[in-house]
Amino acid sequence: MLALTTIAFSLSLLGVSLAQIDHVGINLADEVGKYHQPKRSTPTATCLVADALQTASFRTGLENGTAGIRPGLTESPTNEANFINFCSGLDLTNGRQNPNGSCNGIPMGRIPAATNMVSTLITFPQPSDRLSPLTTFTVTLQTRHLRAGHLVNPSAAYYAAPQDLDEHGDILGHVHVTIQEIGESLRAGQAPDPAVFAFFKGVDDPGDGKGNLRAEVTGGLPRGVYRVCTMTAARNHQPVVMPVAQRGAQDDCVRFEVGS
Ligand SMILES: *[C@@H]1O[C@H](CO)[C@@H](O)[C@H](O)[C@H]1NC(C)=O
Ligand SMILES: *[C@@H]1O[C@H](CO)[C@@H](O)[C@H](O)[C@H]1NC(C)=O
């Protein structure tokens, strides 16, 4: 029915990455390919193989008779080739963190089973804790089903490969810890500007192997009201992608104060 076995797409030869420090103490010893299952050979390096074609993308999802239709849904864009040329003519992400925005054509990749979804809890600080100003403290986290300690070079391979799983079906990735001031009160009412943060750290290490991770806030924080959040990521720094929409959150936030 569908003669779409080989669809060529143009390779970007755009090159050099924008150097932006994302992580302190980058661990480049990531074992690339170790967890990959064998792949079929491809006709050429730049063609879509027939069994990788997703036919659901041929349709908007709102065709008459489609299950799940209800008022308020929008039509999905359609494409008969996995959107492989979606970014053609646009500024490609191409491994860079481009603050101007960009278009990323890399597939989302392998998605865990519902039994392996990521979950995180911040265990320190606790809600409403009051910490001493300018005093080193350690944010501690507990995670489930994240194979931590896997992160690629954020200056050269940002979003440059799909999400992947380990031999147990857990996402290979890492956690970021980010802290922002949220105003005068724990009961803040304004969404903070994501471009402004008081602390940021990628947790590079695998932790204790039981899901416990930590990030030291060296020198502490000035007096203020803050929100600490986790941002769980797959290996190439993309937010973790989950198998079902209805679930608990993969990340956690806690609001706390620094003051005397
Ligand atoms: C889809 O259904 C609507 C109303 O149920 C009808 O008006 C429309 O003609 C149908 N479209 C097609 C392509 O069958
Ligand atoms: C972002 O946009 C500015 C202004 O147009 C430009 O000078 C800069 O080179 C752009 N950065 C990247 C990484 O494309």
Output the residue whose Cα is nearest ligand 2's atom 4: 100
- Stretch 97-111: mean pLDDT, rounded? 97
The overall average pLDDT reported for the chain is 87
Q: pTM of the predicted model, to two decimals? A: 0.81
**Ligand showing the shortest atom-to-Cα distance for residue 91:** 2
Q: How confident is the model at residue 29 (pLDDT cuts 50, 70, 90)?
A: very low
pLDDT in tens, 138-182: 999 999 999 999 999 999 999 999 999 999 999 999 999 999 999
Q: How far does residue 64's CA lie from ligand 1's centre (Å)?
A: 6
Higher pLDDT, 27 or 215: 215
Which single residue is written with the structure tokens 């009051």? 130
Is the CB of 16 within 6 Å of ligand 2?
A: no
| pLDDT of 69 strictly over 70 | yes
Instruction: Tell me the pLDDT tens digit for each residue of 193-248.
Output: 999 999 999 999 999 989 999 999 999 999 999 999 999 999 999 999 999 999 99
Q: Residue 46 — pLDDT band, cuts 50, 70, 90?
A: confident
Give the distance from CA 20 to its chain's centroid: 17
Do residues 233 and 173 lie in contact, with contact meaning Cβ atoms separated by under 8 Å? yes
pLDDT above 80 for 1:
no
pLDDT at 45: 72
pLDDT > 90: percent of the chain: 80
Which ligand does the CA of 63 lie closest to? Answer: 1
Look at phi and psi of residue 149 and say left if phi exceeds 0, alpha if psi is from -120 to 50, else beta.
left
User: Is the pLDDT at 127 greater than 80, yes or no?
Assistant: yes
Q: Which residues contact residue 229 at a Cβ distance below 8 angstroms, ignoring those fewer than 6 apart?
A: 177, 178, 179, 180, 251, 252, 253, 254
Q: How far apart are CA 252 and CA 254, in angstroms?
A: 7
Report the alpha-carbon distance of residue 23 to residue 150 in Å, rounded. Answer: 12
Regarding the beta carbon of 92 and ligand 2, being less than 6 Å apart is answered no
Of 63, 155, 164, 56, nearest to 109 by C-alpha is: 164
Q: Whose CA is nearest to atom 9 of ligand 2?
A: 100
pLDDT for res 23: 37
- What integer pLDDT is reported at residue 209 of this predicted model? 86
> Which residue has better confidence, 38 or 248?
248
Q: What end-to-end distance do the CA atoms of the chain give, in Å?
A: 71
Say yes or no to pLDDT of 41 above 90: no
Q: Of 35-39, 100-104, 240-244, which range is least confident? A: 35-39
Q: For residue 43, what pLDDT is reported?
A: 52
Average pLDDT over every residue of 7-18: 30
Res 17: pLDDT: 31
* Distance from Cα 65 to the centre of ligand 1, integer Å: 9
